[in-house]
Homo-oligomer: A and B are copies of this chain.
Amino acid sequence: MFTVDNIQDIQDMARGAVLLGTGGGGDPYVGELFVAEQIKRGNYPTVVSCDEIADDAFVVSIAGIGAPTVIVEHLVSERSLRELLGRTEKFYGRKIDALISAEIGGANSMFPLALSAISGVPVLDADGIGRAVPQLEMTTFSIYGARATPSLLMDDSGNVVTIDAVSDAMAEELSRVVAGAMGAMAFMSVYPMSGEQTRRVAVQRTLTHTLEIGRCIREARETSGDIFADLVACLGSRDGRTAKILFDGKIADVVHETRDSWHWGMATIQSLDGSDDECTIEIRNEFIVARVNGKTVTVVPDLVTILDRESGEPLTAEMLAYGQRVKVLGYAADPMLRLPDSLKVLGPRCFGVDEDFRPIETL
C-alpha cells in the first residue's frame, strides 16, 4: 500500500498510461490535472495490491466511456465523482472497498485515482487488460468470468442509467449509445467483483507499472541518458517481457477515418537514414499491428507504441501528425493476454487483421 503524494508521480503515471494505451484509451491529461490539484490540497490517492484486500471485499471499476476526442477535453467534476460514488453504493446496496481501472492504458488509469483522492477508497494496483482495448467485453475481467453489468452510467447533469445486459458485448453496445446521448462521454461504475475474483481476473501490478515507465522516461530525459535504451531495459525487467525499438523515422502520412464508431487509420513512417525502409501502423482506436517493409513486427495483443524521438513522450493516435520524428516501440503483452482464451477475444482477427497472433519475441 502506498499513497500518491507528489505531483511528479501522477505525471509519471499518466505518461506510463499513454505508453500502455498504445495510441488509444483517451489522453489521461485532464484526469492527471484533477489528481495533481487534489495532491496539492493534501488529498492523496491510495494504492493497494490485490493481495491486501479481503476475499469478500467489494470492488468496482470506475471508468469514462465515450469519444476520446471528448474525453480529452471533458474536465473532471469533483461533485460528479462524489455523486457517482454515492449513487453506485446505493445502486449495488453496499459500500465499495476498492476501486480498479477497467483499462490502465489511457484516461481510465486516472479516474479511479481521482475518486480515491477525494473519497479515500483505495485503488487496486491492477486493471482489466494491462493496456487499452476498445470494448468492454475485451477485458480480462470479461474473458475470465466477471460480468460488466449491472453497471451504472451518469453524466455531469445528473442523468443516471443502469444497465443489466445478457452479455458484456451487449453491455458495451448499450453503454456506448447511452454515453453518446449523454454528450459523447459518461462516467460509469462497472464490473462489480469480489476481492477473490479480482485476484483471478485482473492483470496485476499495472498501476505501479505506469509509474515505473513514466519515471524511467523522465529520469532518462533529465540525466541525458539514452531514453530508449533505458525504457527497453525498464520494460524488459517486467517478468522478462520482451521490448524492442521497432523503427526510427519520420511520419510521412497519417490517415484517420471514423467507421462503424471505430477510429480507423494508418500511419506511415519513413526511415531517416535515406533508405526506402518504411513502417506502417494500423489503427483501430489503438495501434493494432506494426509492419516494417510489409513484414509484421508486433501485433495485438502485444503492444505497439509510438514515442517522440527526442523526448521519449508516448503519443496517442490523435496526436500523430505529418513530419513528426518518432520511434516505434513493441512490447510483449502481459502473459495473461496471450493465453488461448484471451486470444479468442484479443487476437488480430478480432480487430480485422487477417493473421494469427505471433509473439513479438518470435518476430
Name A's B-contacting residues (CB within 8 A): 157-166, 170, 173-174, 176-178, 180-182
Contact = CB atoms under 8 A, between A and B. Distances in A.
Q: Which of A160, A164, A176, A181 has the most CB of B within 10 A?
A: A181
A181 B261 CA distance: 13
Nearest to A173: B181
A166 B158 CA distance: 6
Contacts of A165: 159
A30 to B, nearest CB: 23
B159 A161 contact: no
Given A174-B178, A177-B177, A177-B181, A161 B158 contact: no
A166 to B, nearest CB: 5
Contacts of A181: 170, 173-174, 176-177
Nearest to A170: B159
A166 B166 CA distance: 27
When all copies of this chain in the complex are counted, the total is 2
Given A159-B163, A162-B162, 10 more contacts: A159-B164, A159-B166, A159-B174, A161-B163, A161-B164, A161-B174, A170-B181, A173-B181, A177-B181, A178-B178
Contacts of A182: 174
A161 B160 CA distance: 10
Nearest to A171: B159
Contacts of A180: 177
Query: When A and B form their complex, which 6 residue pairs have the shortest distance between CB atoms, in order from nearest?
Result: A177-B177, A160-B164, A162-B162, A177-B181, A173-B181, A159-B165
Contacts of A166: 157-159
A334 B66 CA distance: 43
A178 B159 CA distance: 14
A70 to B, nearest CB: 16
25 contacts: A157-B166, A157-B170, A158-B166, A159-B164, A159-B165, A159-B170, A159-B174, A160-B163, A160-B164, A161-B161, A161-B162, A161-B163, A161-B164, A161-B178, A162-B162, A170-B181, A173-B181, A174-B178, A174-B181, A174-B182, A176-B181, A177-B177, A177-B180, A177-B181, A178-B178
Residue of A158, A161, A163, A182 with most partner-chain B CB within 10 A:
A161
A146 B164 CA distance: 26
Contacts of A178: 161, 174, 177-178
A281 B163 CA distance: 41
A160 B166 CA distance: 9
A159 B182 CA distance: 20
A157 B170 CA distance: 10
A152 to B, nearest CB: 9
A164 B155 CA distance: 11
Contacts of A160: 163-164
A163 B164 CA distance: 12
Nearest to A176: B181
A259 to B, nearest CB: 18
A183 to B, nearest CB: 10
